[in-house]
Amino acid sequence: MPEPTTASSQYEAVVERLDELSRLCSQAQRRKSMLVFGPEGVGKTRLLHQFVAVQPRAVYMNQIATPRELLLCLLEELRRLQRGTQIPATLSSRSTPSLRGIAQRVLDQYPFILVFDQLAGPSRVCTGIIKELNYYDRTPIIFAARSPHMEDIGTLQPMCADRSERVEMRNFPTAVAGEFAQKRAEETKLTGSNLAVALHSIVDWSQGNPGSIIRMIEMARLPKYRMEDQIKVHVLYLDHLMGRHPLR
């Protein structure tokens, strides 16, 4: 019988996304594709990095713009991860169909998992090539998007039509978000006579979104949002509300 989960371990499990990571690893073991979706700042990229760190045959690609860029990046990663692959030394002169054929031969030979991050409205041509590389689930595809809708992920949506093939990442519950904000403030050495009030407001405004919490805590350290030993909470809120983030 498993030991009861303590409050501390519950916090760690939520912040480290252990449930989501376990689902991704289980899906990879079954050689099945998976869609990871959730709002900006929720931690999709961090989860994919965690997944790649524990999956030696996971190939991570980020912000791919064109089919050719996708294939060149993929082949370089395959060459790095697997010695002995029959990948030509020079790829830049190859046509896109030739690059696709080389990639498919390597993927047929080795059990890789492809991980695509930042698929924000990719072209149908680009997602079409990803589907071809998947080739009826022979090569699992893990991909991230802000929503599970067709307009966000193009032709990839049917690959993960079943709910069991989707991981929805949500904002932290209020209690976890509060602890997360407190720990983040300690790590960044954020101080202020009104720190407790500021952190409470930041958690409330963020609605538990970890990316928003991190960004507002970083903003709170800037001179613009300081007055003597206090944080100018309302100025911080207005800039956050209007999307004016000096850190960008």
Token duo for residue 231: 């944080």
Check: pTM over 0.85? Answer yes or no: yes
The confidence score (pLDDT) of residue 53 equals: 95
Q: How confident is the model at residue 1 (pLDDT cuts 50, 70, 90)?
A: very low
Partners of 116 in the beta sheet?
61, 143
pLDDT band at 242, cuts 50/70/90?
Answer: confident
Tokens matching residue 82: 């697997």
Residue 65: per-residue pLDDT: 74
Q: What angle do CA 52, 206, 213 make, to 5 degrees?
A: 55
Using one digit for the tens of pLDDT, what is the confidence trace for 138-153? 899 999 888 887 666 7
On the question of pLDDT at 89 being above 60, the answer is yes
Residue 107 has pLDDT above 50, yes or no: yes
Mean pLDDT of 93-100: 93
- pLDDT tens for residues 182-224? 999 999 999 999 999 999 999 999 999 999 999 999 999 999 9
At residue 119 the predicted structure's pLDDT band, cuts being 50, 70 and 90, is low
**Which of these, 136, 116, 111, 112, lies nearest to 127 by C-alpha position?**
116
pLDDT at 244: 79
Give the largest Cα separation in the chain, rounded.
64
Secondary structure tally for the chain: helices H, strands E: 11, 7
Q: How many CA atoms lie within 13 A of 112 on its CB side?
A: 26
Greater model confidence, 26 or 118: 26
Per-residue model confidence (pLDDT) at position 39:
92
